[in-house]
Amino acid sequence: MKISSFLIAPLVCGSFVYAQKPQPSSSADATFVQHASEGGMAEVQLGQLAQQKGTNPAVKNFGARMVMDHSKGNDQLKAIATQKGLATATAVNSKDQALYNKLNSESGSQFDMDYINAMIADHKEDIAEFEKEANSGQDPDVKKFAMDTLPTLREHLKMAETAQMELQRGRKGE
């Protein structure tokens, strides 16, 4: 009787230990990581382009902020993804590449306005995606990344909207 207790105890205890292991990331979390890393790369590339081609100081400053904040976010996301065995983007998606190509062919106030308008639309989409992950993500680390990044994305949106108003005032003065 004592022998059977010794044999059964490890099986029962082992199942409790196994049940406490963290669950692997869901496919929705993996998709979020992929999209967020693509978007982050695009923000950096477009921010660099704004620093080079922008004519309005608000656009150049916004571009610099995109490079700084999204580079930091990309590094954080990559560390989480590596730890979780999730894939991150190695290149921007075709939509972001097309936007880059379009903006790269522009100059002056046309570039400034089109860049800022694109950043407003993009950050609205980003905020919605990050809110969805923060509210319904399964992986606690990916979810926390989304939650922690949201204030920065909201700040970027406000900055872009302020720059847009400045650009519109400048156009009215032309």
∠ CA 149-139-23, rounded to 5°: 165
For the beta carbon of residue 93, count every other beta carbon within 10 angstroms: 15
pLDDT at 34: 96
pLDDT at 5 over 60: no
pLDDT tens digits along 115-156: 999 999 999 999 999 999 999 999 999 999 999 999 999 999
User: H helices of the chain, where?
Assistant: 2-19, 27-53, 57-84, 94-104, 108-136, 140-172
**Domain architecture of the chain: domains with CATH:** 27-172 (1.20.1260.10)
pLDDT at 9 over 90: no
Q: Output the pTM of the full model.
A: 0.83
Mean pLDDT of 102-114: 98
Distance of CA 44 to the CA centre of its chain: 11
